[in-house]
Structure 1
């Protein structure tokens, strides 16, 4: 029987890892922002388009977490290694496919209505980032495996090292230091790609050290029926996660495009709001993943009462972060960029997006709890349906009602409220006491 630590103790290293991902994005944006709205617009446009494709791959690979956690017992190494092998192969193939298509990025951005020079600059950034995507997704598959077997602390330490390396490379490549020329947004992308490659090597080597020689061999699962069930569950969870993420991010790209139609400064301000929200959202992701693992770990059946307590703890964590963004929007914007116009736009948007942080963070926690019960179809429909409504409302409020970039965030907060309400209702149905049949230890 595998013991389960408290929620925050289990979530802490996972939070650090996810905060590390956010940390790299924030450092990139902050350092590029010093060069002005033009370079920042290229970075944020690439993040709002290519970055969403990366998020889709991340969501699919994270589906392996509950399956790996369910196979943590010492005698189940073949089962969990089979999950890792499938995830790594999927990550590699997805990364190579995106890299092959990345030379088209600049053209596609221009066709979407973005200004030609901005499209070309962002296209270069995307091409550089795509070169490191296969390594980045392989690194993620290894990180998920390590977290699933209870070695999240190792992942956190490697992520801290990656952030330090990224900051150092940014200092060299963004602004330039003689004889290295200033590369701006392209320099930030180059730093990210180099760090992803190094992180992949480090994490895969860590899996090999812990799992032994069997890590690189084809997993020989004794129970073929159980192996087939694991494959089906893996496909089901991955498909659900990718479908949700793909639908939401594909539609979310339109919000970035809408912001781009409004100009470089509205685009930079709109995208920067989500960069500043990212640490809180990844905090929610770390706690949510810990909640799902507590339900999936063998010998620790999910408790409905414990679930509600865990969600209450998540709310207590997100509330103060959201309040800081809402109440200190002006100072945050002033310190974020010296560009007066950009700072004013950011101060106007942050109070709304700070509330969105709380709503969407809670939605992720609920979604993770439902995923632990392999409840996929209805949550996916809720997520994608609300995102479709977001795009329609954003177009109406921003353009037809002439509210500009503020209309985009008003549309987002409206549908975030709806999403949280619908997911909460689904949670009440799936976890209602009379319907709960606790899983038995593996």
Structure 2
């Protein structure tokens, strides 16, 4: 990681640049995949499984027998951990439910709003170098709490044509009935168009590589919603003299090991803290099984020394990190000034990995600067808000003249007449 000491503001954008993703080039690869799935359905999914996953798939849908077999393969300590995480995630997302809203805004005019579940959702769960069974919890729990009518999960098969046992165990625990052996852009295509085994969905959720991301962007053009734009995972740690360098280094590395295109950013109050932390990074890196992956991610990363806290906070908001860890003395005060972040972790004893797995918050978060205008996944992501209104005769007499004047001023006479004809009827003038 290169170290920059009090860099001028006009250099921040360049120094904070994420690893470039050539989306147009990737789309050229993804579009034919999408079209083939649209035309050939399950047949295309089997072909792509052979081409990309190097396995022949006879049956795309996971059977009950496979789920029962998977349950036996998951160690008991992992089962208990998943169950604890399930409990915390359920509690936090259950608390996000909001009551229906109903109010009389003026005499005879009542407005209402209620939450209605998105009917059909597709959950994409990566299963390559790191099978993310934790994401099954993060997406499956709010989907079930919201009351989504149909929940379908796609995940790539391994060389034996099976989905990772922990993914199947967690899906069964959450109550997801349909699990499909399909990964990559082809899984997103299946969600978008529907196949013999995969229903067309209304909204797609879940992280993935650059091909999955590109496919999700294309799905939007076909009328299917997605959870959020997303790119490689990232973390920013803000540390001062109260931070413990070994902790900060561990947090940086926990993000770097996600993938070679991940990015970590360190912001320190002094060069002393930066040097101590980077020394710890080097020491801990040598012990990681995914050392090569983490090293490449670190090559895309940068450390800032910002002696002025106001400028440090401004830099953080400029970057808009997916994950933000505040290892500073006044973390609550600093947190109150953060306006752009996916999820914030406060204090030395709050590792980002707690949020990734089991604290209760959701780990599906906006990356690539989208935290400026997008929230992470929550219960709200799985519902729509529908408004209603009911107006009595008295209410229309009260409100009608206002609508008539406004509609007439916009030269929309039919709008005006829809009110006038009713008022005349009430007054016996029709």
Q: Comparing both structures, which one devotes a greater share of its residues to strand?
A: 2
**TM-score, with normalisation over the residues of structure 2?**
0.27
Q: Greater CA radius of gyration, 1 or 2?
A: 2
Q: Comparing both structures, which one devotes a greater share of its residues to helix?
A: 1
**TM-score, with normalisation over the residues of structure 1?**
0.26
